Structure 1
Amino acid sequence: MDAEDDGGGAVRRARAGAGRGRAAPGGKFTVPRPPRGLVVRSRCDEALATTVAAHRLTVVSAPAGFGKTTLLAQWVARAPGPVAWVSLDPLDDEPGRLVRVLGDALARIAPGARPEDDPGPDRGLATVARRLDALVTALEALPPETVVVLDDVHLLSARTSREVLGPVLRYAGPRFVLAGRYDAALPVNRMRMAGEVGELRERALAFTEEEVADVVRAVGVPGDAAAVRALWEITRGWPVAVRLALAADVLDGSGEPLAQLRDRDVPITGYLVEEVVGSLPDDLADFVLRASVADQVDPELAEALVPGGARLLDECVGRGLFLTDVGDAGDGPVYRWHALVAAHARAVLTRRDPLAARVAHRVVAAHLGPRDPAAAIRHALDGHAPDLAARVLGERWPDLVVRGDVGQVRGLRAALPPRYRSDPDVLLALAAAHAYEADGARDDDGGPAWVGELVRTFLGPGRPSLEESVRRGRALLDGGVPDSGVPDDAVRALALYLVGRAELQQYGPDPAALGHLAAGGALAAERGWVALELGCRAEEAFAASLRGDVGAALDGARAVLATAALHEWQGTSIVASAHLACGVASYWRDELCAAAGHLRAAIEAAGRNRREVAVHAAGVLAIVCLAQGDAPGLARAREITDASWPDGSAPEHLTAFRDFLTAVQLGAEDRPREALAIVDESSVAFADPLALGWQSDQLLRIGDIEGAERALRAAEHAAAGAADVLGATPAQVRVANLAAAAALHADEDAGAAHAALEAALAAAEPHGLVRPLRDRAAALHPLLSAHLEWGSAHEPLVTRLLVAEHEAPTPRASAWDLTPRERDVLACLRSSLTSEEIAGSLFLSINTVKTHMRAIYRKLGVDGRRAAVRTAVQRGLL
């Protein structure tokens, strides 16, 4: 779909009709012709048709260049009833004139419907009111399938909208479609609450990637999938930008995207100046150019850029000027500019007023310093303020280290004038950069060697083991910072964070970790090191998950993730432990899909810099995949744990955990004897209380009641001892052991079984520890059903367990044996394809497909296609 003129034509029509008593004839009430090279978008056409049919009022609102007029013109051509079209212009922003214009539009579709003009000379408010009453009467007489379209409704002031459109919409009559760059100031909240208002906005009107491909083909420009994706990503589907980019040949003749497609390669500056900035009041236009220097803007920054900036920012949001709400920074909302619009607006400001552009960069640098030091330094240098850049670099280097941005320090320092390069704080940052990049402390730079030692110990390549890192870090904290002539707060805060997080990742984490993290977080908050503070808070959330405080872990981790998202740090190592905390807590609460998502995010964020976190997350993810019956996910998780220490240097507890995981997998595959054969009583993993409870379950499955009782007694004894290698807390171990005891006594001593089950429920409910019970829900199912009659203080939890086992039963052993071809057929079952169509798509016979379907149903324990898809989704097989 092409982008419409959307404003410029309306202005020209207004000038042509100036001085006349009536609106200019012809085009004002005529549906515009579709543009050349039109690409029909059935998605938008259907959405508009459905919305108009279901609502009295439809609002089509998006910035300039989103194809609003073209979309409406296409719909009118197929509208089921009569349509009155009005292309508004600035001269219509007067109540009396707008009433006459609406009357003229009605007369074109229903002769005689136009209200008669008052013959009297009075043209005051009373006369407008009488004409408006006549217009409402005429509208009420129209057939209900009639639609009135008002294009460019943003040209009407709030006064005209309220005085004319407000009464018109208040009473029953034809349907209305109001299209504009932003919403008219109309009192329609009652209609919204009544469900009478439908809306199509920027997100619905933007091109999808597939639609960009359609446009590329329609204009005859060579372009493969990679080229189309590059164009879609840089324009974000803004239709006019796509058209202008193609007109400028941003795709070369071979169809490959430019090696580095940049914002400035899309020639929208002229359109931006004429149709966006040029249509704004002078003060708002100036604000848009200045504020676009920053990628994101909030009320505080807006006020710093321009007096009254918060009000102007609010007006920009109201006008829909290419701003997206990205959250709340605590002091107010934060908005992100459309990257393409911001880049060209910055270029316009730099050309028009270079001094204003420099000042804006400096203001943004000062604002971003505490939040995003790397961006702040770039803005300071762009604003020709090297002193500000040096100050930010010296004050904020700990945040750069924690975020993994320390590699930028060298380039940023090189951009500073020579007289700033010997600043002590800059030298401190440079020493950290050299250590992080493993090229040693550079004596010729004058950087403090002890700073490099700290970074190298915990972050640099080839760093020592966790135990050695913790030893060295504690020595630094205990000995204090050597006398170097620079403040030691930065190094101390960073050391507290790095030592605390390493202590948490050790087997049997030292309680001192919490003290180190709390002190580091407080110092970071005092000095305004946001990333460092977030890192400490993320580790504290992880510590809460380790001690079984599920609620505190989730609350703390979610707060960290929300703040990180606000600063666009979602993929950095800062949030790895927060995702891990959410994953562990969600697992114990039996929210397996959420747990798997967070654990995968933790692995991705940890990367190579935080190998211990990635391995920990992969281990928990493997347990989650076992619970879901997700064989591919289990294999990928195990690849991570096996590949993390390829040289055989894995810690003893990790090697033991791998063996335990193998045994658990065999148990899940209904091979309990093979699982028990792996048990090594001398291994720290198999001496763990959770592992002993698991052994009791397996021994019970093969009929060894005495062995199951011995393992359970050993588990209860071990629970009172040292911390376990599997990371369970005493509360989690107690719930698991009591659940195992209930299963053990279910057949031989109903009273003891019910008592153990009630004790397990009582221990689980305060902490939300559902998973230990769900692991045994299949074995406990008859006991759980009878427990409601036996009498329980925890009936909601019992009901939840029974319902969960019905809706998402424990994966059967045969589910692990789905063949690759059965998985292909299973993937097709969630589509609308018939069995014959599935056979054709997979190049199989219909009988073969039906055989695979029967095998899938048997292995998943279901009796039909819909149940198979639901169960497969719940277990992560789809």
Structure 2
Amino acid sequence: MIDEVRREMAAAAPEEARVLLRRNWLRLIIESHTSELEQLCTAAPDPHDPHILLIRACCRDLAGDSYGAEYLRGQGLRVAEDDFVACFTDLLLAPDAAAKAAVADRAHEALSHCGADDDYSSALFLLGWTEVRLRRNFPGAIALLRSAAAEARLQDRRETYRLAQSNLAFALTQAGLFTDAEQVLDTLPPRATPSDWDLFEGGLPEANRGCIAYWRGEFAQAVALLETAIVEDSPGNNFEALARLYYVMSVVALQREDRYYAAAGLLQGISRSDKHGIPWDTLRRAVSAHLAHAQGQDERARALAAPTLTRTGAAVAHALLAELYRTMGEPGLSGQAFRLAAAAGMPRYARVSTLVTSAALHSAAGNGDRAHEQLDHALENAAAEGVLAPFLGDDPIIADLLSAHAHWGSEHQQFLHAILTKRGQHATAVTGILTERERDVLVRLRTTMTADEIAAELGIAYPTVKTHIRAIYRKLGVASRRDAIRAADRA
């Protein structure tokens, strides 16, 4: 493809060369010929033509040079706002959600007026790619990407087809349509080496599968999948960053204390600013707060999470924070995060999370009937795609509520049984990762020994024994010595 364009440009008159670049630039970017495309731009008869500068801006951005991209974009914005090249350059480069949404609206209009020199197939893909990141209309984004894949197949554009299918899988995952997403992932055409666009996006298939495994409560599987997508020195604003977030959440769910330090380091590598409409800092803070809570640092968790309560557009992050605030005894802040999640348009799995949180809040407040109604709504939303993670928390309120719900009378008894079975398996896995010293302490908790006496027998300080006891309770999801012994026996 790139050699054909080179030959045509070498033989073309200046105006014909400009038309050739306009006709092929978007496909060359998507199909990962960015460095060659930029060389063609710099060798063009008029390298300062606005379209040439805008195309180079896109090349720079994919190469990771955001400053150069912005400078070139500024130099190239001497064309009409509805110009096709200007519109789709802005679509690629707009950093925050508000700016990207405004450009996407223009792009929808530009797409309906594509001319002979405009690349309709590539434009369909890029608009669908954008709409997924904006998360404002998943059905529309899915439809765009399906259309882009069909158009690419008709034109035998194999790389565009692969990317459209890959991003379709992501759109389906984010919409909570896990089964459909897995079917698309299973049929993705293989690629021997990562393309420029693959590097730009970073680990999409692995992050997708890991995300699905997390929400289905397969935390160990999620860790194994997500580890393969994590790459040191990544830009921290692509699918590799998403893999980091879900990896840390999976490690926390498994209570793998031996991995907490490394997990904190992974979170430091995630962007503090938005990119392509994704609120990375909000996501990073939400997961960092969960990690801090798992480490027994609730004040730090509150400090990390506080700025997110003034931000919008991160439904999953706010759903996770609603549950975190509840477990930290902050029902008011939990409700605030809940409302932010609802305002953003939640995917089904985030809705399940908020419904479980709501049920637990009502249960703690003594509103039993309302708690069971909310829990039943959660089961209804979760059953179709096997969303288990929100039900597996080690909080005793959720454990008691689920047990009571089995007698309350639900239409989802089979799925509820699957949850209770999974909780037992999860508890067994967690018990198996007690440290050697924690197991020493647990053995002595079976006796009448006091914490002082355990400290003396083990030759360690009293505060250290109390720390071990708190860790044991947290890992077993209990609040007393007697319950810890019972949980250990069940495991």
Structure 1 length normalisation: TM-score?
A: 0.38
* Aligned-partner SS, 2:286: helix
Q: Which has the higher helix share?
A: 2
Contact 2:292 2:298 survives alignment (8 Å): yes
Residues 717, 459 of structure 1: alpha-carbon distance in 2 compared, 3 angstrom cutoff = closer
Unaligned runs of 5+ in 1: 1-391, 398-412, 700-706, 826-846, 864-878
Contact 1:501 1:539 survives alignment (8 Å): yes
Say yes or no: does 1:544 pair with 2:172. Answer: yes
Counterpart of 2:168 in structure 1: which amino acid? Answer: E
2:192 to 568, 580, 584: 568
Q: Which has the higher strand share?
A: 1
1:721 to 343, 349, 358: 343
Residues 589, 813 of structure 1: alpha-carbon distance in 2 compared, 3 angstrom cutoff = closer
Bigger drift between 683-692 and 762-771 goes to 683-692
Residues 445, 622 of structure 1: alpha-carbon distance in 2 compared, 3 angstrom cutoff = farther
What does residue 95 of structure 2 align with? Answer: 466
The one of the two structures with greater contact order (alpha-carbon pairs below 8 A, sep at least 6) is 2
When the two structures are aligned, how many residues end up with a matched partner? 403
- Alignment partners' CA distance in 1, 2:56 and 2:240: 20
* Aligned-partner SS, 1:688: helix
Map residues 310-709 of structure 1 onto 2, 5 A cutoff.
393=2, 422=11, 433=33, 441-444=41-44, 450=51, 453-454=54-55, 456-457=57-58, 459-460=62-63, 461-462=65-66, 463=69, 464-467=93-96, 479=110, 488=117, 491-506=119-134, 508=136, 513-560=141-188, 563-564=189-190, 567-568=191-192, 572-573=198-199, 576-604=203-231, 611-631=237-257, 633=259, 635-636=261-262, 638-645=264-271, 653-672=279-298, 674-676=300-302, 678-680=305-307, 681-684=309-312, 688-699=318-329, 708=331
Greater Rg by CA: 1
- Alignment partners' CA distance in 2, 1:858 and 1:716: 28
Q: Deviations over 1:185-223 (max 9, x none)?
A: xxxxxxxxxxxxxxxxxxxxxxxxxxxxxxxxxxxxxxx
Residues 640, 693 of structure 1: alpha-carbon distance in 2 compared, 3 angstrom cutoff = closer
Residues 477, 788 of structure 1: alpha-carbon distance in 2 compared, 3 angstrom cutoff = closer
**Shift, 1:441, TM fit:** 0.9
**Shift, 1:545, TM fit:** 1.5
Residues 601, 469 of structure 1: alpha-carbon distance in 2 compared, 3 angstrom cutoff = farther
**Shift, 1:434, TM fit:** 6.1
Residues 604, 554 of structure 1: alpha-carbon distance in 2 compared, 3 angstrom cutoff = farther
Contact 2:362 2:371 survives alignment (8 Å): yes
Counterpart of 1:737 in structure 2: which amino acid? Answer: T
* Aligned-partner SS, 1:623: helix
Contact 2:327 2:395 survives alignment (8 Å): no
Q: Deviations over 1:561-596 (max 9, x none)?
A: xx22xx535785588333332222222111223323
**Shift, 1:628, TM fit:** 2.0
What does residue 411 of structure 2 align with? Answer: 793
What does residue 380 of structure 2 align with? Answer: 762
**Shift, 1:532, TM fit:** 0.9
Contact 1:538 1:575 survives alignment (8 Å): no
**Shift, 1:744, TM fit:** 3.5
- Alignment partners' CA distance in 2, 1:762 and 1:477: 35
Map residues 104-115 of structure 1 onto 2, 5 A cutoff.
none
- Alignment partners' CA distance in 1, 2:179 and 2:268: 32
**Shift, 1:674, TM fit:** 4.8
**Shift, 1:533, TM fit:** 0.5
Percent identical among aligned pairs is: 18
Map residues 148-187 of structure 1 onto 2, 5 A cutoff.
none
Contact 2:392 2:426 survives alignment (8 Å): no
Give the RMSD, CA atoms, in angstroms: 5.1
- Alignment partners' CA distance in 2, 1:796 and 1:549: 21
- Alignment partners' CA distance in 2, 1:627 and 1:767: 20
Structure 2 length normalisation: TM-score?
A: 0.64
Q: Deviations over 1:34-70 (max 9, x none)?
A: xxxxxxxxxxxxxxxxxxxxxxxxxxxxxxxxxxxxx
Unaligned runs of 5+ in 2: 70-92, 440-457, 477-491
- Alignment partners' CA distance in 2, 1:774 and 1:682: 29
